[in-house]
Amino acid sequence: MKTFALLTCLAAGAVLLLAESDFPDWGDPSSPASTHLSPHYITQTYAETHVPNLVTAVLADYRGYDTMFETAVIFCAGLAILLVLRRGGASNTSAHARPPREHSADLIIATGCRLLIPFMQVFALYVVAHGHYSPGGGFQGGVILGASLILLAMAFDIKTVLSKVRLKTVSALGGIGVLIYAGIGLIPLLLGGNFLDYSYLSAILPATDPIMARSHAMLGIEIGVAFTVTAVMLSIYLDLASKGNIDEGL
């Protein structure tokens, strides 16, 4: 088995090394990847969407379908873990559940968490809300928000997190995020445009022209993405750390 693996790796490595000489030079502005679609995104995005962060604009507007289904994939992954592992809710007292243990968080850890978590959460909301103008967006902000809750679960235990946010809420938020995204995409369809064509939203948003409406709609779907990512990251941790029992955790 090891010999076979080594031979496969060497063969693949040799082929790829051969192909490497055809790659464009490092940092070449006229490489094929940077000459076809990318100049349009860089020069036209601000005129077409009024969003200076090109990554957010491409993510949420030009490649809206892609991002919607990526969000759905994340939601499905969370759902799959839930279906594979979960054995009941927080009140589960099955034979698999470990006995409750005496638990008191260390003073340093407890104080550190109390200091860190509020700032992490505020920063996460900033990253989501300011994703148009600075590095950030729904995925990044959602991961930071999820990490703050996971930090709470690691420092204390899972019950502490579930006293702040209920398990049903976590599961529901994952679906609500995808629903927000698809719902904002559906409104233009009802107003006579294409699915995810946000410029039609100017008909119902007050005091916006079709270009600014794209910017506002992007904020909306970024919030939806942030909901899903936060909920799924927390849900994955809760299930993996407690083998699906949702009892004490690590």
Binding of another protein by 124 (CB under 8 A): no
Calpha distance 153→151 (Å, rounded): 5
**How many CB atoms within 10 Å of residue 72?**
15
Q: Which stretch binds another protein (CB under 8 A): 71-79, 162-170, 175-183, 216-224?
A: 71-79
Opening angle at CA 45, ends 39 and 48, nearest 5: 130
Binding of another protein by 46 (CB under 8 A): yes
Binding of another protein by 59 (CB under 8 A): yes
Binding of another protein by 238 (CB under 8 A): no
Binding of another protein by 149 (CB under 8 A): no
* CA-wise closest residue to 235 among 74, 107, 105, 100: 74
Binding of another protein by 74 (CB under 8 A): yes
Residue with tokens 């904020």: 219
Binding of another protein by 95 (CB under 8 A): no
Binding of another protein by 233 (CB under 8 A): yes
Is the Cβ–Cβ distance between 201 and 213 less than 8 Å?
A: yes
Is the Cβ–Cβ distance between 193 and 199 less than 8 Å?
A: yes
Q: DSSP string covering 92-114, please?
A: ---TTSPPP------HHHHHHHH
Q: How far is the CB of 236 from another protein (least distance, A)?
A: 4
* CA-wise closest residue to 159 among 228, 101, 119, 95: 101
Burial class from Cβ neighbours inside 10 Å (0-12, 13-18, 19+) for residue 30 reads exposed
Binding of another protein by 139 (CB under 8 A): yes
Q: How far is the CB of 2 from another protein (least distance, A)?
A: 5
Is the Cβ–Cβ distance between 128 and 142 less than 8 Å?
A: yes
> Per the structure block, which two tokens stand in for 226?
């942030």
Binding of another protein by 25 (CB under 8 A): yes
Q: How far is the CB of 23 from another protein (least distance, A)?
A: 6
Residue closer to another protein (CB basis): 75 or 200: 75
With CB under 8 A as the contact rule, the residue among 150, 155, 229, 231 that binds another protein is 229
Q: How far is the CB of 203 from another protein (least distance, A)?
A: 26
Residues in touch with another protein (CB under 8 A) = 1-2, 4-6, 8-9, 12-13, 16-17, 20-21, 23-29, 31, 33-34, 37-39, 41-43, 45-46, 52-55, 57-59, 63, 66-67, 70, 73-74, 77-78, 80-81, 84-85, 133-135, 137, 139-140, 143, 229, 232-233, 236, 239-240, 243-244
